[in-house]
């Protein structure tokens, strides 16, 4: 593969803003060369690491193609019904690399599991089943474990006994895997934190997160993937049907602002999906660009928002070969017109995308 040099672009390396310079890549990796056989003039542009979406649901190659066109080069799937179908989406040149939890864990007696079409073995009824579940997902290739904390009495939701959640968390941690939890209320947040989960995904929209829960997240070192765009979409969808429902997107914005103020690590994820049972759909790729705008509106600086889709998720999830622009790392790169470190909207003006050095656009 011919070496390619991107010149005259401002460089955001995933952590810091560097001066205008040149980045050269060859055979899928960033090199220490100063020139290339192919030269791309990046004047007026910013070069960034490819973006990482920390919460998606993947069904087809079309999902990956749409994401790649927007500069998303890695996608973390948060539930799939078929390991075989998911694995068929792996390792396609020029498309994002993907990881998954495979099956998520549901509480005993979950009508939600049935409604969403997940198999019986996703329902955890004992500590022995909890341990077996974790081992099964990891044997399928799971990079992390996912738990759904349902809201008891809401849309068929069932209570997930704390001892079963703890059993899942302990086994996952014993096998060196992070645990991610779907949680959309202060009660489910409290249970997840008490059980020792690592990542809380989604944000409540019926009330703001109470400060003691945010403080507990900070003490335990929990990570937040707020999926603000999805929360906004749910609020708007529900209120369109019933304007009297006390859901409010402002509660989401306030909670993310408070989480950020508390110094909690925030990673950007969209919850993009094609699921007919989902309350709303978020477009692949474009949804992540928009998510960054919501995060900046909640108080993150543009640089912090960009870190949430580059070096922070790569570091947290152990994706050591990407997320930064550095010699020896994958040439997963995004070139945009303008400067998203000053104006996050510039992330939408894509001029070039490379995945492992292969040009997407």
Are 70 and 11 in a shared domain?
A: no
Q: How confident is the model at residue 23 (pLDDT cuts 50, 70, 90)?
A: very high
Are 266 and 350 in a shared domain?
A: no
Are 183 and 284 in a shared domain?
A: yes
Domain of residue 41 covers: 4-47+323-359
Q: Does the structure show a pLDDT above 80 at 314?
A: yes
Produce one character per residue of 216-235: b if its CB has 16 or more CB atoms within 10 Å, e if not.
Answer: ebeeeebbbbbbbbbbbbbb
- In this predicted structure, what is the pLDDT of residue 1? 77
Percent of all residues in the chain with a pLDDT value above 70, rounded to a whole number: 99
Q: How confident is the model at residue 151 (pLDDT cuts 50, 70, 90)?
A: confident
- In this predicted structure, what is the pLDDT of residue 154? 55
Are 240 and 329 in a shared domain?
A: no
Q: Which residue has the higher pLDDT, 202 or 155?
A: 202
Bridge partners for 352 per DSSP: 335
- In this predicted structure, what is the pLDDT of residue 309? 98
Q: Does the structure show a pLDDT above 60 at 209?
A: yes
Q: Does the structure show a pLDDT above 90 at 186?
A: yes
Are 34 and 131 in a shared domain?
A: no
Judged by average pLDDT, the poorest of 23-37, 48-62, 267-281 is: 267-281
Q: How confident is the model at residue 28 (pLDDT cuts 50, 70, 90)?
A: very high
Q: Does the structure show a pLDDT above 80 at 125?
A: yes
Interval 295-310 mean pLDDT: 98
How much is the mean pLDDT over the chain?
96
Residues 181 and 165: their CA atoms lie apart, in Å, by: 10
CATH number of the domain enclosing 178: 3.20.20.140
- In this predicted structure, what is the pLDDT of residue 18? 84
Are 193 and 251 in a shared domain?
A: yes
Are 214 and 333 in a shared domain?
A: no
Residue 151 — φ and ψ, nearest 5°?
A: -95, 110
Residues 14 and 330: their CA atoms lie apart, in Å, by: 13
Bridge partners for 5 per DSSP: 24, 39
Are 173 and 33 in a shared domain?
A: no
CATH number of the domain enclosing 328: 2.30.40.10
End-to-end CA distance of the chain: 17
pLDDT in tens, 250-287: 999 999 999 999 999 999 999 999 887 788 899 999 99
Burial of 115 (0-12, 13-18, 19+ CB in 10 A): exposed
Dihedral sign of CA atoms 203, 171, 54, 124 in order: negative
Q: What would the 3-class secondary structure string for the chain be? A: CCCEEEEEEEEECCCCEEEEEEEEEECCEEECCCCCCEEEECCCEEEEECEEEEEECCCCHHHHHHHHHCCEEEEEECCCCCHHHHHCCCCCCCCCEEEECCCCEECCCCHHHHHHCCCHHHECCCHHHHHHHHHHHHHHCCCCEEEECCCCCCCCCCCCCHHHHHHHHHHHHHCCCCEEEECCCHHHHHHHHHHCCCEEECCCCCCCCCHHHHHHHHHHCCEEECCHHHHHHHHHHHHHHCCCCCCCHHHHHHHHHHHHHCCCCECCCCCECCCCCCCCCCCCCHHHHHHHHHHHHCCCCHHHHHHCCCHHHHHHCCCCCCCCCCCCCECCEEEEECCCCCCHHHHHCEEEEEECCEECC
Judged by average pLDDT, the poorest of 109-123, 222-236, 248-262, 312-326 is: 109-123
- In this predicted structure, what is the pLDDT of residue 156? 57
Percent of all residues in the chain with a pLDDT value above 90, rounded to a whole number: 93
Q: Does the structure show a pLDDT above 70 at 155?
A: no
> How many structural domains comprise the chain?
2
Calculate the dihedral angle through the C-alpha atoms of 196, 201, 205, 208, rounding to the nearest 10 degrees.
50
Residues 277 and 361: their CA atoms lie apart, in Å, by: 33
Are 270 and 154 in a shared domain?
A: yes
Are 165 and 67 in a shared domain?
A: yes
Are 30 and 9 in a shared domain?
A: yes
Are 9 and 62 in a shared domain?
A: no
Q: How confident is the model at residue 152 (pLDDT cuts 50, 70, 90)?
A: low
Q: Does the structure show a pLDDT above 80 at 11?
A: yes
């Amino acid at each position: 593969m011919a070496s390619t040099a991107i010149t005259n672009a401002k460089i955001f390396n995933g952590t810091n803003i560097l001066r205008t310079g040149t980045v050269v890549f060859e055979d899928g990796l960033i090199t220490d060369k100063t020139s290339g056989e192919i030269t791309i003039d990046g004047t007026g542009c910013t070069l960034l690491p490819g973006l990482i979406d920390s919460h998606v649901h993947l069904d087809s190659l079309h999902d990956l193609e749409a994401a790649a066109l927007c500069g998303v080069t890695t996608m973390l799937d948060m539930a799939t019904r078929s390991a075989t179908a998911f694995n068929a989406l792996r390792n396609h040149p020029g498309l994002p690399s993907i990881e998954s939890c495979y099956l998520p864990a549901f509480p005993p007696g979950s009508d939600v599991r049935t409604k969403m079409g997940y198999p019986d073995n996703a329902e955890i009824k004992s500590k022995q089943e909890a341990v077996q579940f974790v081992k099964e997902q990891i044997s399928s290739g799971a990079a992390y474990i996912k738990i759904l904390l349902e809201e008891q009495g809401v849309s068929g939701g069932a209570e997930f006994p704390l001892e079963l959640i703890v059993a899942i968390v302990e086994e996952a941690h014993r096998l060196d895997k992070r645990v991610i939890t779907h949680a959309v209320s202060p009660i489910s947040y409290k249970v997840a934190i008490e059980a020792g989960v690592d990542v809380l995904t989604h944000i409540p929209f019926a009330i703001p997160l109470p400060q003691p829960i945010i403080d507990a997240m900070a003490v335990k070192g929990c990570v937040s993937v707020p999926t603000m765009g999805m929360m906004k979409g749910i609020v708007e969808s529900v209120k369109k049907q019933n304007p009297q429902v006390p859901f409010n997107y402002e509660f989401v914005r306030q909670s993310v602002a408070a989480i950020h103020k508390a110094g909690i690590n925030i990673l950007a994820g969209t919850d993009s999906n094609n699921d007919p049972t989902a309350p709303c759909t978020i477009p692949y790729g474009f949804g992540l660009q928009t998510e960054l705008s919501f995060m900046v509106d909640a108080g993150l600086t543009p640089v912090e928002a960009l870190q949430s889709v580059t070096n922070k998720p790569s570091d947290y999830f152990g994706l050591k070969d990407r997320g930064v622009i550095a010699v020896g790392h994958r040439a997963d790169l995004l070139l945009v017109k303008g400067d998203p470190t000053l104006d996050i909207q510039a992330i939408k003006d894509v001029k070039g995308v490379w995945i492992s050095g292969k040009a997407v656009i």
